Amino acid sequence: MIRLHNIIYRRLSLLSSSTSSSSSLLLCPTFLSLNLHSSIHPPGSALRTARKVLSKTHIMTLSRFHSLAPVRAVAAEDGGGSGGGSNGSAGASLIEDDESDSIGCNYRLPAPEIRDIVDAPPLPALSFSPQRDKILFLKRRALPPLEELARPEEKLAGIRIDGKCNTRSRMSFYTGIGIHQLMHDGTLGPEKEVHGFPDGAKINFVSWSHDGRHLSFSIRGDEEDNSSGKLRVWVADVETGVAQSLFKSPDVYLNAVFDNYVWVDNSTLLVCTIPLSRKDPPPKPLVPSGPKIQSNEQKNVIQVRTFQDLLKDEYDEDLFEYYATSQLVLASLDGKVKPIGPAAVYTSLDPSPDEKYILISSIHRPYSFIVPCGRFPKKVDVWTTEGKFVRELCDLPLAEDIPIAFNSVRKGMRSINWRADKPSTLYWVETQDGGDAKVEVSPRDIVYSQPAELQDDEQPEILHKVDLRYGGISWCDDSLALVYESWYKTRRTRTWVISPGLKDSSPRILFDRSSEDVYSDPGSPMLRRTPAGTYVIAKIKRENDPGIYLLLNGSGATPEGNIPFLDLFNINTGEKERIWESDKEKYYETVVALMSDQSDGDMHVDQLKILISKESKTENTQYFLQCWPDKKKFQITNFPHPYPQLASLQKEMIRYQRKDGVQLTATLYLPPGYDPSKDGPLPCLVWSYPGEFKSKDAAGQVRGSPNEFAGIGPTSALLWLARGFAILSGPTIPIIGEGDEEANDRYVEQLVASAEAAVEEVVRRGIAHPNKIAIGGHSYGAFMTANLLAHAPHLFCCGIARSGAYNRTLTPFGFQNEDRTLWEATNTYVEMSPFMSANKIKKPILLIHGEEDNNPGTLTMQSDRFFNALKGHGALCRLVVLPYESHGYASRESIMHVLWETDRWLQKYCVSASDVVPDVRNGKDEPNEVTDISDNKAVPASGGGSAEGLDREWEACQSLRRASLW
C-alpha cells in the first residue's frame, strides 16, 4: 500500500505530462476561484487539496517587450542594443510550414493569427515644437529585413560600428516626417509633409531649432557608390516643409559613432563630420607585429564584468580611432562653414544656455583591452562657440580599476554639465571615497560649481555634500534646486532642497525614503522649458497666496494599482493639494508634459495646460490636452487599434501569497470571448523576470495598473492569446535579502516558492490546465526558466529560454544585481547556475540565442554549452541560434522564426500534453523519492506520511478526475 501511495505522490508532484506529436500578443490569462489559504484540509476539501497540489505555475513579465519597435533589453542582464540578423543572402526565404519538425536552414513563418499582429504597421512617434504649437508625426516602418542586419560591422571598444555609414550599426530610422499645426481647440491641422530629400531616404536624429522654425535631421540612402549609406545633415523650414542639405559640398558627411550635431543657436549647428583628409581604413596586417601581451606586474586589483566587443590588438585600436575621429564644423543656415579645433574622438557636444560656450568631451589613448570606451582616458574642455579654446576642465586617466560593487564610480570629476538656470555656469561632482562604494567616508560626494571663464585664481564653489551617492540635480533658480542621492545596498534615497545663490541658507532634506517603497513615492517635480532650450523646475503661483509651489507628477502606486496624480506642493510647508488624478475606474492616464511653459518666469495655476496620455485595457493610447481652470480636455490623436483581433482580450491584475507570507501580483490575460465556466482550463504561458528586494513589504507592493493598455511587441508572450493561451504576465518573483542577508543566497528557494504560488493561483481559479503550464523568459528570465525546470519540474510542462546565461562561473565578477565575486560567494554562484543542474532537467526546453549577442554576461557560448550539457544527459532540448542577431532580435525573418519555434514548442509540449491523470495503480516503476505535497520536500520512497494523509491525497486525485479537470 505504501508503495502504491508513493507512486501517486510522485505522479501528482511532478505533474507528469506525456507528449505527442504536434498538430498543425503581448497579453493575457484566466482563472476560477477556489480558497487555498489553509494548509490543513478539513473533510470534504479533497478537491481543493489536489488542485493546490497540481496548480503550481509561473508567469513572466512582458513590460520590457511592450514596444512596437524591435525588442531591446532593459534591466541589468537585458542590456545591450537590439540586434538584427540576416543570413547574408539577398533574400532569406520564409517558409509557411507549421508542421515541419526538422532543424532545417530555412526561416519559418508562425501561424497567420500571430503573423498578422507582428506585421501590423507601427504607429508614428510624436514630437512637439518648443512653442508647443506644432507636432511632428515621425513615421516608422515594420520590422527590417534580415539583409539589412547582415551588413558588416566592426566590434570595437564595446560598441558596434557600421563602417559603410560611419555610425552605430543596426540603427532604426524614420521613413517620413509630417508636420501638424496644433489648433487652440486641440484639433490638428492638415499634415504638411517634409520634402525635398531623395525618395526612400532613412531619417535619423530629428531635432528642433530653439525657436521652432527649423528642423534638422540626417538622411542616408542605399546608393552603390563608395559613399553609399553615409549620413548627410539636412535642414527643413517648418512653415513650408521644404528641406535642403546643410552642406553644399557633397563630400561632407556626418560622423555619428558618438555625438552627431547640436544647435548652437537658431541659425548655426555644430556638426561632427568625417575628416575630409581621411583615407581608406587601415589594412589588417597579414602577420602580427608580435604576441598579444597583457601584464599586471604592479599587482593592481582589477575586477571587471564580462564586457564584450572589446579591442583585441593594435590593429583594433587603429580601426576604432579611424571610425571614431571627427572634425568639428560650425555650419550656418546661410551656407557658411567653419572647421574648428583639431580632429579627435569627440564623444559629446553641449552648448551653454547663453550660446557663448561649448562643453566638449573627447577620449584618447592609451586605450584598453579589458574595458569599453566609456572608461578610456577622457578629456573635457570649454570652447567658445566660435571654436576658441578657453580651458581644460579635466583629463581623466584610463579607468580599468572601478570596483564592481554597486555605487562605485570613476575617480575625479564626473557628471559635468551646465546649470540649466544660468547663462554659462558649470557644475560637477567629485567622489571622496576613491570611487569605491565599500569605503566608508563622509561626505561621499561633493558637488562643485564654477563659471565657464575664470577670474584670476577663482576656485570652485562647494554647492552641496552628500553621504550617499550623488544622483543628479533639478535646477530652478538661485533660491531653489533639488539634489538627489541614493544607495543601492540599503535602497535609501534622499532629496535635498538647496538655495545655490544664498550663502546663508542651509540645505534641508525634503524626502528621505526607501526607493523600493513605491507607495511612499511623492512624485517628481515637473519641469518647464526655458527660452534657451533648457529645462528647470516649474514654479507655480496661486491667487492671493505668497507660497512657493511645485507640481509633483507621480505614478500613484496603491494596493489597487497605479493611479497617477499631479499634486500642487508647497516647497516650504510640505502641504499638498491634488489638482489632477487619473480615472481609476476604467482608464489609465498619465501626465506627459507641461504645455504652458513657453514664457519665462512663474506660472499661474489657473493657466496650466498639460499633455495627458489616456488608455484602457482594450483602448490604445491617445493624447489629450487638459486646460485649467475648467480642466476641459481636448483629444489630439485618434490612432487606430494596432491589433483589432485582440481588442476584446481580457485582463486582470491578480494578487496571491507566497508560502512565506510575501504578497505577490501578476497580470492575467485571457483570449477574447473566453468563458472559464463554459470553456474550461486553458494551456497557459507564464512569462516573467525576477527582481531583488531588501524587504518583504516592498516586494509585496503592487506595481502597474490593471487599466493599462496591453501593448504587444514583436516577441511578446501576449501573442499567444491569439492561439488560445492564457498568459500570466510578470508574476512577481522577488528575491529578498533583508538586513545583512544577500538575496541570492536563497535564490533557488525563493524562485521556486514564487513559481509555486503563481501556478497554484491560476489552477485554483480554473483558468490554467495544471498539466499544460509552460514557463518562459528572456535574458535573466531565461536563467529563471532553466532554474525552474531544474528545481521545480512538477510545475511546468516545458520551457522557452531566450538569450540567457546559465553558468555563473563564466561571469565571475558579478552579474545582474550580484556584486560579490565567484571567489567570495562560490556556493551561491554554483547553486544558482542551472548548468550545474543540467542532469535534473527532464522537461522539454527550447533555447534561443542571437549569434552576435553583445550583452555583458549572456555570451552565445552560454546557450551552446548549456545545450551540450542537456544533450549529454539525454534531455529533450532544442537550440536555435539566430545569425547576426544580438541580445534582442530585430529582423523580420529572425523574429518570425522565433515565433514559429516557440509556437511549435508550445503546441507540441504544452497544448498536446496529456489531459488525463495517469492511472498510477498500474505503474510498474517504483520511484526513488517522492515529493511531500505540503512543503515540496523530498521524503524517502520506503515510507513517510501517515496512512490517513495518503488516503486523503488519493481521494483528492480521484475527485479531480471525476471533475474532468485533467
Q: Which residues are marked as active site? A: 779, 853, 887
Cβ proximity of 669 and 717 under 8 Å: no
Q: How far apart are CA 939 and CA 546, in angstroms?
A: 72
Strands ordered across the beta sheet of 609-616 = 587-594, 609-616, 622-627, 632-635
Which residues, in sequence order, are CB contacts of 199 under 8 Å at separation 6+? none
Sheet with 202-208, side-by-side order of all strands: 202-208, 214-220, 232-237, 243-245
What burial letters (b/e) apply to 711-735, b meaning 16+ CB within 10 Å?
bbbbbbbbbbbbbebbbbbbbbbbb
> Which residue is listed with cell 484566466?
30
DSSP state of 744: G
Distances (CA, A) of 154 to 88, 343, 374, 847: 16, 21, 17, 27
CA distance to 47, 811, 813, 829, 920, per residue, from 826 (Å): 44, 12, 11, 5, 41
Cell of 77: 542582464
Give the sign of the dihedral formed by CA 740, CA 743, CA 748, CA 749. Answer: positive
Hey, what long-range contacts does 548-551 have (CB within 8 A, 24 or more apart)? 548/480, 548/572, 549/605, 550/525, 550/526, 551/525, 551/526, 551/594, 551/608
Distance between CA atoms of residues 82 and 887, nearest Å: 6
Q: Position of cell 490554467?
A: 768
Q: HEC profile for 150-197?
A: CCCCEEECCEEEECCCCEECCCCCECEEEEEEECCCCCECCCEECECC
DSSP string spanning 534-566?
-EEEPPEEETTEEEEEEEEEE----TT----EE
Helical (H) or strand (E) element with 785: helix 780-791
Q: Which of 726, 589, 719 is nearest to 652 (CA)?
A: 726
How far is the C-alpha of 35 from the C-alpha of 111, rounded, in Å? 38
Nearest alpha-carbon partner for 27 in 798, 674, 676, 792: 674
Of 939, 790, 933, 698, the C-alpha closest to 50 is 933
Task: Report yes or no: 589 and 601 within 8 Å, Cβ to Cβ.
Answer: no
Question: Cis omega before residue 525 (within 30°)?
Answer: no
Q: How crowded is the C-beta side of 456, counted as CA atoms within 13 Å?
A: 1
With b for 16 or more beta-carbon neighbours within 10 A and e for fewer, the 595-606 pattern comes to bbbbeeeebebe
Chain Cα centroid distance, residue 447:
30
Q: Longest C-alpha distance within the chain, in Å?
A: 96
- Would you put residue 523 in left (φ > 0), alpha (ψ -120 to 50) or beta? left
**C-alpha span between 64 and 75 (Å, rounded):** 9
Give, as one character, the DSSP assignment of residue 631.
T
The vertex-14 CA angle with 12 and 17, nearest 5°, equals: 95
Strand pairing report for 461-466 and 445-451 = antiparallel
Which residue stretches of 637-703 are H helix?
676-679, 696-699
Residue type at 851 in one-letter notation: E
